[in-house]
Amino acid sequence: MEVSYLLAAAAWLASPLALADMNVALLDNKPAFIADVMRQMTLDEKIGQLRLISIGSDMPQPQLLKEIAAGRIGGTFNTVTRADNRPLQDAAVKRSRLKIPLFFAYDVVHGHRTIFPISLAQASSWDMDAVSLSARTSAMEASADGIDMTFAPMVDISRDPRWGRTSEGFGEDPYLVSEIARTAVHAYQGKSLAAADSVMASVKHFALYGAVEGGRDYNTVDMSPMRMYQDYLPPYRAAVDAGAGGVMVALNSINGVPATSNTWLMQDLLRKDWGFRGVTISDHGAIAELIRHGVAKDGREAARLAIRAGIDMSMHDSLYLQELPGLVKSGEVKEPEIDNAVREILGAKYDMGLFHDPYRRIGAAAGDPPDVNAESRLHRAAARDVARRSMVLLENSKQILPLKKAGVIALVGPLADAPIDIMGSWSAAGVARQSVTLYQGMRTALGDKARLVYARGANVTDNQHIVDYLNYLNWDKPEITQDKRSPEAMIAEAVKAAGQADVIVAAVGEARGMSHESSSRTSLDIPASQHALLAALKATGKPLVLVLMNGRPLALNWERENADAILETWFSGTEGGNAIADVLFGDYNPSGKLPISFPRSVGQIPIYYNHLRIGRPFIEGKPGNYTSQYFEEANGPLYPFGYGLSYTDFSLSDVKLSTRTLDRDGKLDASVTLRNTGRRDGATVVQLYVQDVSASVVRPVKELKDFRKIMLKAGEEKVVHFTVDAEKLKFFNAGLQYVAEPGEFNLQIGLDSRTVRQQSFELR
Ligand code: NOJ
């Protein structure tokens, strides 16, 4: 414990404002301290702690302050300044009977004031330093605004890009997402959760939210336990093991029982099996939704089910407040059950350092930033760095990229100058006018070396129904601005601009709201208005470079056939425009790899690389009847998991194994020589996959087990080593035991999941 802490705490506790009768000496002993606080609490005060209030939607400010002072609120979310949080904390620690501090939470998902690339983009970096930089910077910025907890990381595995929240997650692979989960939790929480620049990570959405049926948001999930344990649960587990202080519970049901009333999930798995010690939080209104799920007949039953399942805090509903007193009185809920929840909530506050100093992150008014959006508060260099590392070069067959900073470049497309969209959804306290658009980024990069002609060319969509829907989503104000000109006039202007240019750069894809909560799609196509623009640009015969901005895999068949280069930039954040320009002009050599498969069409979904083996597999190049395939189009993904090009080329040698027989307690070294055979320095990701040749249950065709991002100078080579042991070969068998079974394994190393070099070994 830091000395300054104890002094601050002692001063606070010794003041007349301090917790009644609280023993300063206990402050160093968490269980004793919390027991002492709880000893003083009435049942109503305990129930008050279970409430997490959404600022701006739950109640007006005067009522909020009154409720806090009455000890009826445990924490709030959705405020983003110290000045906003201070009066709330004052009400708690100066006016409530027991003076228990509040905590302040917010959805800091990919940046706070500085917006980093969306999570799916960060996963494309396969670079844990980049993930860590984003989360650490976010924690610093959020805590400097008085925030104590973030509702992140979101680690829901998604194999269905129709789901709009695919953008918020880190892709389809349990290993990669688990690595990221661990990294992000450590970075948010810092060395000590109590530090002023740390925020508590509340991992979400527990569990399996990414598997909603049909990719339709909030839909049901029905899944075998083996698949759950093997593929979907590991990232949450990784976050818990990394010490995440909070867990946010999913909105969906799991095999017929909503997560919010799921005792198996919340008690048996999370607390007993995984040993989670921390606070569990329902998602927005989820306790009341138990009625609509049809497992509770009324609010009283909903509250009973949720508290008994182990939901400590209720977000944005008043059912705990209304119903728990009566439920305790009638004996349907026992006070010790309420105590369990209170203990975790007070424990979280203790861990965040709030009992030691409730103003730890809010600070004194004199220290408030005069301008919360001041440039000096942003971390632009970090955001640009992470954004560059997150981009994936999908096509560059004629080496049209990198572009020369010379001649005339036509920049077209509805996303070329779109400061709101480039931030992506869940952009926290990000401010659109601080975003660098692609247009601005290219202008800066070019200076007077080349001429940039710009034309919008199309609206993101001409479908008014979709525009209305996107504007209706939960933004503060409508954010889709339609160009009122006719589609023909806009295309004509773009074609004219293209006519003057040596090369066309077209920024196309989705409005950010299209890849968001409640934004599921039935099509993965680039909207028709933009497709018409691209077709007209193609007809000019000029080289065509596509810069994609989107939050999910898209079906890019036409684009792949017709574009000369395609750069997947996702939604790249505050510094997106500069970062994309860095890549387009070769000031940065792209090194991202897809963290999720790109299908050819919606009909292929679900399509993911680590699917189970089957009895009649389709074999590429050997089409035949009665094998597993779709007969009207090519099979397999358009771009596989792990895929991404560079401006240089790499070669991989055959795989060398240190032994062909691995003992149960032994280790095996697998190595390859990676060589940069091109003319530029560059980085790539060497990926290790394993296939269990024969096991007691059907196993995947391959599974990612390790990876290394390696930077090589032109002409340089390096031997890359991986260690394999029995731990890496374990899986959940039919009895859900985590075991490695003896027998043969194929070990594959590649620069994507499809093209690999293979060797075999035996586990004894
Ligand atoms: C609902 C979302 O599902 C969740 O991800 C988010 O953290 C909460 N709202 C709070 O904003």
Is the CATH number 2.40.180.10 carried by domain 380-594? no
Say if ligand 1 is within 6 A of residue 204 CB.
yes
- Residue closest by Cα to atom 4 of ligand 1: 283
Tell me if residue 241 is catalytic.
no
pLDDT band at 209 (very low <50, low <70, confident <90, very high): very high
CA 53–ligand 1 middle distance (angstroms) = 12
pLDDT band at 4 (very low <50, low <70, confident <90, very high): very low
Secondary structure (DSSP) of 565-600:
EEEE--S--TTHHHHHHHHHTTSS------SS-B-S
The better pLDDT of the pair 57, 754 is held by 754
The pLDDT value recorded for residue 624 is 76
Secondary structure (DSSP) of 637-656:
-SB-TT--B-SS-EEE---E
pLDDT digits (tens, 9 = 90+) for 145-163: 999 999 999 999 999 999 9
pLDDT digits (tens, 9 = 90+) for 372-397: 999 999 999 999 999 999 999 999 99
The pLDDT value recorded for residue 12 is 56
User: Which tokens is 661 given?
Assistant: 């027989």
Nearest to 763 by CA among 746, 748, 749, 744: 744
Distance CA 394, CA 525 (A): 16
Nearest to 531 by CA among 553, 576, 563, 503: 563
Tell me what the mean pLDDT of segment 104-133 comes to: 98
Q: Is the dihedral of CA 598, 604, 608, 614 positive or negative?
A: negative
Gyration radius of the chain over CA positions: 27
Say if ligand 1 is within 6 A of residue 284 CB.
yes
Distance CA 490, CA 473 (A): 27
Confirm whether 380-594 and 650-763 share one CATH topology: no
Q: Which of 84, 283, 421, 564 is catalytic?
A: 283
- Residue closest by Cα to atom 9 of ligand 1: 284
Distance CA 365, CA 361 (A): 12
- Largest interatomic CA distance in the chain: 83
CA 266–ligand 1 middle distance (angstroms) = 18
**Domain edges within the chain:** 1-100+335-367, 380-594, 650-763
Distance CA 162, CA 59 (A): 34
Map residue 375 onto helix, strand or coil: helix
Is the CATH number 3.30.56.10 carried by domain 650-763? no
CA 316–ligand 1 middle distance (angstroms) = 10
Tell me what the mean pLDDT of segment 317-325 comes to: 95
Residues linked to residue 202 through DSSP beta bridges, in sequence order: 246
Distance CA 536, CA 495 (A): 7
Distance CA 385, CA 220 (A): 38
- The answer to whether residue 6 scores a pLDDT higher than 70 is no
The pLDDT value recorded for residue 478 is 83
| Most ligand 1 atoms within 8 A of CB, residue of 151, 168, 282 to mutate | 151
Judge contact between 169 and 599, C-beta under 8 A. no
* pTM (predicted TM-score): 0.97
pLDDT digits (tens, 9 = 90+) for 714-746: 999 999 999 999 999 999 999 999 999 999 999
User: Where are any strands of DSSP class E within 434-587?
Assistant: 451-455, 503-509, 544-549, 565-568
